[in-house]
């Protein structure tokens, strides 16, 4: 299956090359050897070191990663425009990410050991999230302050912070789940029970989470995507831990309440909402006429060009798409980042989009299965948290570019250009595979044969 994923990637590159330049991509051999070799190595590695892990995970990740490389190749190399990046960079980053993936699978034999350090993880997450605010190293790109410039490369620490945060939440909630689930005060209106309110002190972690998301991420860093993702994952995990919907009610109320409250004061938040709701208004799209009007919306802030051009690209794709290399993704500004999905929409059409979303969904659902299959609470929390993170991140990004929700700016796991995102995706995959391996590992044979003896397995 992994071979199949590699073959699809190479075939995609050949198609793009033929359509764009009328010839086979000159560097195809390099890609075939490197990407194919890497994937095969990873496959063999898994066979050897995590033999019981879910067999679907690696091929799915390879497919998504490979399609991402093929699309970036088509966007940059095939057009000769490598200023914005190149597929080779992405290939090298993939290699590095796979190395980290292998190392994690190899060294982190028992992911549950992470349970021991919830507060260190929390601290790490906060520090990582805050580093872009530091002077000198912290940089803003396209208005969002979420990068750290290391000189030779820039990192997006929030990509790693979210993993650390899942570890923390899993560890913390496993310890506190009974308190969180049971200790509550009933709110009654007359004889009617309306809501179970958690005790004030149990609300503290949620309050901290909420405050952090709103104040730091939204107001200071203009990082709506991360805020939404982190808070969503937090709610999902607290729901898994407590199985109580009142936490969701409280969380959602607090989150949307805060959004409503800061709406008048935080201009970039307002801009996102307006470009989402009124994307086709002339002054939001910034037509020539609107540009000439000094009073219009586009004089003060961003515009909906990217969003609308993205929708036009999707529309151009239709059912089967223009074929890789046959579309005009150059119409969409910054298409290589979060809008890479519309490039797939244009060139692979509805059919291609569906395949990609299915692959994503499958990946997520296999992750959820790991959570179900595991017997340890921490692993259950951890696996479901990571799976949901992948699902929610995909939803936030693709929903943003297809105008389901406001655009927030995050990356599609495995597919989009960028080192941090790719690396964190492979880290998540490594964690899932290791947990999957441990959950599915059969109990030692010798003991099982002893009949009546009770086996206590992990």
Partner 1 sequence: MNKPIRRLAIFSLALFGVLMLNISWIQTFQAESLQEHPYNSRQFIESLTQHRGSILVGSEEVAYSDPVGGDSDQFQRKYENGTLYAPVVGAFRAGSATGIERAENSFLDGSNQLLAVNNFRDMLTGEEPKGADVYLTVDPEVQQAAMDGLDPLGKNGAAVALDPSTGAVLASYSTPSFDPNSVASVTDTEQAGKKWEELEASEQKPLLNRAFNEVYPPGSTFKVVTASAALEDGATPESTMDAPESLDLGAPLTNAWDASCNNGAPDSLAHSIEISCNTSMANWAIELGGQKMHEQAGAYGFNQGPMEVPVDVTESSAPLETDPNILGRNGIGQANVEATPLQMAMVASGVANDGDVMKPYLVDSVQNSNLEEVKAAQPEVFSEAVSSGTAEDLTQMMIGVTEGDEASGPAGAIPGMQVAGKTGTAETGTGHTHNWFISFAPADDPQVAVAVVVENGDQSGGELGAPIAKGMMEAVIDE
Task: List residues near partner 1 by CB under 8 A.
Answer: 236, 239-243, 280, 285, 287-289, 292, 308, 311-312, 314-319, 328, 331, 345, 349-350, 353-354, 357, 360-361, 364-365, 368-369, 371-372, 377, 380-381, 384, 387-388, 391-392, 394-395, 398-399, 402-404
Nearest distance in Å: CB 280, partner 1: 7
Nearest distance in Å: CB 2, partner 1: 23
CB-based burial label for 73 (10 Å; 0-12, 13-18, 19+) = buried
Length of the chain: 458
Residue 99, CA distances (Å) to 39, 203, 401 in order? 11, 40, 31
DSSP state of 335: T
Nearest distance in Å: CB 350, partner 1: 4
Residue 45 or 239 with smaller CB distance to partner 1:
239
Residue 138 or 282 with smaller CB distance to partner 1:
282
In degrees, rounded to 5, the angle at the alpha carbon of residue 221 between the alpha carbons of residues 218 and 224 is 40
Contact yes or no for 110/379 (Cβ under 8 A): no
Nearest distance in Å: CB 424, partner 1: 18
Q: What is the four-CA torsion angle of 226, 385, 104, 379, rounded to 10 degrees?
A: 160
Cα–Cα dist 239/21, whole Å: 52
Residue 259 or 357 with smaller CB distance to partner 1:
357
Nearest distance in Å: CB 219, partner 1: 27
Nearest distance in Å: CB 368, partner 1: 4
* Secondary structure of residue 84 in the 3-state scheme: coil
Q: What's the token pair of residue 210?
A: 């909420």
Residue 126 or 357 with smaller CB distance to partner 1:
357
Q: What's the token pair of residue 169?
A: 């939440």
Residue 319 sits at φ, ψ, to 5 deg, of -70, -50
Nearest distance in Å: CB 156, partner 1: 23
Residue 42 or 313 with smaller CB distance to partner 1:
313
Q: What's the token pair of residue 218?
A: 């939204």
Cα–Cα dist 384/169, whole Å: 11
173 has which bridge partners? none
Residue 66 or 345 with smaller CB distance to partner 1:
345
């Amino acid at each position: 299956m992994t071979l199949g994923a590699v073959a699809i990637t190479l075939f995609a590159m050949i198609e793009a090359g033929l359509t764009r330049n009328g010839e086979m991509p000159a560097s195809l051999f390099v890609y075939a050897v490197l990407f194919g070799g890497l994937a095969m190595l990873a496959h063999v590695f898994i066979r050897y070191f995590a033999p019981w892990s879910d067999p679907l995970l690696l091929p799915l990740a390879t497919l998504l990663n490979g399609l991402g490389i093929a699309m970036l190749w088509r966007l940059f190399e095939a057009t000769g425009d490598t200023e914005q990046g190149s597929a080779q960079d992405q290939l090298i980053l993939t290699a590095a990410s796979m190395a980290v993936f292998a190392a994690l699978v190899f060294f982190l034999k028992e992911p549950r050991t992470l349970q021991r350090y919830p507060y260190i993880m929390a601290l790490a997450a906060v520090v990582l999230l805050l580093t872009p605010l530091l002077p000198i190293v912290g940089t803003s790109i396209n208005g969002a302050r979420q990068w750290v410039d290391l000189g030779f490369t820039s990192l997006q620490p929030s990509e790693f912070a979210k993993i650390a945060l899942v570890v923390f939440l899993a560890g913390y909630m496993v310890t506190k789940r009974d308190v969180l689930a049971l200790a509550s005060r009933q709110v009654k209106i007359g004889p009617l029970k309306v809501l179970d309110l958690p005790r004030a002190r149990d609300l503290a972690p949620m309050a901290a989470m909420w405050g952090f998301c709103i104040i730091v991420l939204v107001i200071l860093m203009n990082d709506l995507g991360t805020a939404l993702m982190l808070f969503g994952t937090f709610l999902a995990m607290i729901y898994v831990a407590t199985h109580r919907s009142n936490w969701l009610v409280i969380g959602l109320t607090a989150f949307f309440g805060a959004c409503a409250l800061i709406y008048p004061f935080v201009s970039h938040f307002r801009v996102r909402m307006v470009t989402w709701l009124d994307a086709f208004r002339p002054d939001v799209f910034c037509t020539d006429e609107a540009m000439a009007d000094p009073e219009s919306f586009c004089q003060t802030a961003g515009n909906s060009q990217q969003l609308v051009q993205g929708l036009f690209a999707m529309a151009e794709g239709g059912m089967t798409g223009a074929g890789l290399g046959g579309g005009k993704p150059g119409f969409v500004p910054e298409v290589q980042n979060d809008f890479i999905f519309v490039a797939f929409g244009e060139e692979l059409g509805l059919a291609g989009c569906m395949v990609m979303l299915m692959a994503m969904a499958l990946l997520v659902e296999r992750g959820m299965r790991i959570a179900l299959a595991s017997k340890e609470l921490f692993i259950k929390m951890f696996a479901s948290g990571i799976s949901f993170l992948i699902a929610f991140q995909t939803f936030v990004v693709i929903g943003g570019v297809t105008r389901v929700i406001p655009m927030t700016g995050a990356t599609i796991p495995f597919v989009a250009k960028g080192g941090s995102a790719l690396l964190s995706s492979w880290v998540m995959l490594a964690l899932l595979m290791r947990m999957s391996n441990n959950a599915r590992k059969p109990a030692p044979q010798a003991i099982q044969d002893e009949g009546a003896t009770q086996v206590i397995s992990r």
